[in-house]
Each structure stands twice: as structure tokens, then as C-alpha cells.
Structure 1
Amino acid sequence: MRAETAALRVLLVDDQQLLRRGLTMLLSTVTDLEIAGEAADGAEALAVLDRRPVDVVLTDARMPGMDGVELVARCAERHPRLPVLLLTTFDDDALVQGALAAGASGFLLKDTSTDALADAVRAVASGGMVIDPRVARAAMRRPDAQADTLAILTRTERLVAEQVARGRTNTEIAAELVLAEGTVKNHVSALLRKLSARDRTALALDLYKTLGG
């Protein structure tokens, strides 16, 4: 168990190396925080998490490959007690709602001060939730039924959902999206769970109605 006085270990995830370096420099000035690693996207971040202990993940929301929202969802499955704090330049309702629905511990804009960012890392590491006041309205707003359905899906789940809505099999979806069939099966299972569908037929029908066919 990590000693009470030990620095909090932070994993930085951003596709822009310059921004990662900038955050590293800023957070390195905070005595009780330690940069435990860096990653360019969600997939690389998961690989880092498999290799070393981390107390908080600080990730960009928008990235090529596995984005921050999907990283939150994967961490919730593989590292359920690990808080993930998202940083972004976008004040986007669907993004905020999707990140929080996936299990994010906080959401901040990138122009947040170093002190506020450090306070947020400490807060989520202690089990709290931090939402920048400028995006709190988006987090609290109740979207319509379609937006609500889409907001809780990761980007890859949305792509799989579109294929399920068309009645495609796992094999067909895997070929279309260039994914392993087992990966598609996992995403379909996640869709069944998130959308509370009793079976695949009901799921396909619900998605067909929501996505407009």
C-alpha cells in the first residue's frame, strides 16, 4: 500500500508530445505529485497501467485512436478503483456527459491553473469528483433520448452499435470495422449492459429506432 506521505503518481495521456511535456513541467513543480508515465493515446495508457502503479490518470478527451472517453470506460473495467480526470479545450455537452457516464472522476478545461489542476488530482485520488464550473451546466443538462443513448457509448461502441442496428453479425462487423471478432463480441456485451437490452434482437431494434436506421 502506498505510504500516506508518498507523492501521488500521475499518468499523463495526450496525443501531442508538446502538451505532455508542458504538463510534466508544470506538475513537476508540485511537491506531492509525481509523473509516473506518459502515453499518446488510450491504448498506450492501458499498456502503461499494466506495467506500473498509478494513482490518477490525467487524459486528454479528444485523441486519435482510443480517446479519453473510451479510456475511461476501459479503466472502469480493468482498473475500477483508478480515478481518471479528463482535460480538454472543448466545452461539448455530449463529450462531458459521455465521459461522466463512462465513469470519469472529473472534467477540466485545459486552461485550468496549475494549482487548480493539482487540487483536482488530489481530490479525485481521495475519491472525490471534480467538474470545472464552465462545464458543469453540460454535465447537469438532461439530453433528449437519442443524445442520452449516444452519450454513454464510447466511439468504438457507437460504430459497433451502428452495425448492430443494421442487423450485421459479429463476423460481418469485425470485417467492416477491422476488429477481432472477440473484440466485437465484447463491445456488443457492453452495449447490452449499457442500454439494458434483454437480448441482441431487442438491442438491434432499440438501436435502429435511436439511430434512425
Structure 2
Amino acid sequence: MPDNASPPPGEQGTGRPGYPPPGVCAPAAPLWPGFLTGQEDSPVRVLLVEDDEFMRRVIAQELLSDLRIQLEGQAGSLRDGRRLLATHEFDVLMVDLRLGDGTGFDLIQEAREHHRAGEIIVISALEDESHVLRAFELGATGYLLKDAWLQSFAQAVLQVVNGGAAITPRLARRLLSRLSYRPPGALPPAEPLQREATLTARECEILRFVARGHVTEEIGNKLGISGQTVNAHIKNIYKKLHVHSRAQAVSYAAYTGLI
């Protein structure tokens, strides 16, 4: 090699193909593993129903900028939202609760009846407990506040399709405070529904991870158990609490002061 010639790529400074030169870090591994749902060659299909045109445009721009997500359709009313549900397949429905011609709760119910495999994320300015709990009871798996800064709409979509629950950090903090703190000697809140609500210590631990938005693989890695074991615990939690989703389990546990 001539004295003034540059070494081939991958050999600079080391003479070993494929290694970076001294002092230079190797490229980071992909941040989005191939085993997770939502890949560029198989993006997550999303429907967006939001009557605020500006907010709808903001959310749409964020979703469109992520190649792991495909925005299948948008609507600004309950009527047009119903039309989207009837004409499009989807993986995630994002819906506002206040629509000009009705309520997003109606759309959540219809989506759950006809698209049982789909995930539902509420986008709302309403953060009172009654609206949050009702959305989860109807089958929502996420609840995002419109005025929250520390959240990502695209990340929320990817969380719910991979088994997580997407909740605005401010709401998650509120839920976690109810999950983790109870004054000495205090009794849990009165139980409005009779359920077999005794969880094991491991089930409580897993439920706390779910409340923080961790997916199955992450929980398994943190606890040193397999994803299959994590899912088995989660199924037991569903059975004991008589719920059908992770968001419902977290909501119920927070509401009752179960853990």
C-alpha cells in the first residue's frame, strides 16, 4: 500500500477488518429489535380520530415520520370514525373522547366489538379519574393527555402493540403513587365489585412493571425469567382481577389500592 494511501474501511488504525480505529466506538446495535412488532417492512397500521384539526395534524406528522408506523386513515368526527372502522383494517385506533357529533367512548365500544385484536389509545384533554377508568374498562390500552410534553405518540403505538400500556407519565405517576403507597394501618378502599383480588408478591411486582409501560421481554430480563413465564403470571392476574387487558389490570389495582 502506498505511504499516502488510506487503509481500507474497517482496517484503519487496527489492521483488523471490521474493527473501528482506536478511540472510536463500534456502531451501536439496532435500537428496535427485529422480534418486536413494528418493522419498516411490516409497519403498525393506525387509525386516528380527532376532531381538533391542529392536534390531528400534529399527531399525524409524528406518526408519518416513523417508518415503523403506517397511518391508514384519519377522521374528525364520530360518523367518519365509524366509516374508517368499517372500511379499514388496523392494529391501533387512536381516538379523542370529545368528538363534535358524539363521544369517543362509543367508538371504543364499537372497535372492541368488531376488531377484538386491535389496540385502542385514548387521546384526550380530560384527565379526571372517571374518564380514565371508564376508557380502560371499555378496553383501551393507552391514555394520553394532549397537553403533556413528556410523551411520544409514535412510541405509545409501538408500546401497546408489543404488550405494553401507554399512559402519559403524569397519569402513570398518579397510578404508581396509588399502587405503591398506603399510610401505615390504612385499609384499602372499599371494593365496588366482588373479585378474587389476592395477588402473589411476584404478580404484584410484574403489575408494577406493566404500570411503568414495560413489555413482556423487558419484564422478563429485569426479573431473570422467561417471557413465557411473565405472560403466565399476567394471565393469572387477568383471571384473579376479572380483566382483559394490561391497562385494565393496572387501572383496577390503582383504583382499589390492591398493591
Query: Normalised by the shorter chain, which TM-score bucket?
Result: 0.5 to 0.7
The yes-or-no answer on 1:71 pairing with 2:94 is no
Match of 2:23 in 1: none
Measure the CA separation in 2 of the matches of 1:144 and 1:114: 33
Gaps of 5+ in 1: 146-213
Which residue among 125, 131, 135 is the counterpart of 1:99? 135
Alpha-carbon shift at residue 90 of structure 1 (Å) = 2.0
Say whether the 8 Å CA contact 1:120–1:130 is kept in structure 2: yes
Say whether the 8 Å CA contact 1:26–1:114 is kept in structure 2: no
Match of 1:109 in 2: 145
Match of 2:57 in 1: 21
1:73 alignment partner AA: Q
* CA RMSD, 1 decimal: 2.9
1:61 alignment partner AA: L
Say whether the 8 Å CA contact 2:59–2:153 is kept in structure 1: no
Match of 1:190 in 2: none
Equivalences for residues 176-187 of structure 1 within 5 A: none
**SS of match in other structure, 1:127:** coil
2:101 alignment partner AA: G
- My pick for the range that moved more, 4-13 or 111-120, is 111-120
**SS of match in other structure, 2:98:** coil
Which residue among 119, 122, 133 is the counterpart of 2:155? 119
Match of 1:202 in 2: none
Match of 1:130 in 2: 166
Equivalences for residues 167-206 of structure 1 within 5 A: none
1:135 alignment partner AA: L
Gaps of 5+ in 2: 1-36, 180-188, 193-259
Larger radius of gyration: 2
Q: Which is helix-richer, 1 or 2?
A: 1
**SS of match in other structure, 1:85:** strand
Distance 1:92 1:3, change over 3 A: closer
Distance 1:32 1:112, change over 3 A: farther
Which residue among 73, 83, 91 is the counterpart of 1:55? 91
Measure the CA separation in 2 of the matches of 1:63 and 1:129: 23
Alpha-carbon shift at residue 128 of structure 1 (Å) = 2.5
Distance 1:143 1:77, change over 3 A: farther
Count matched residues. 145
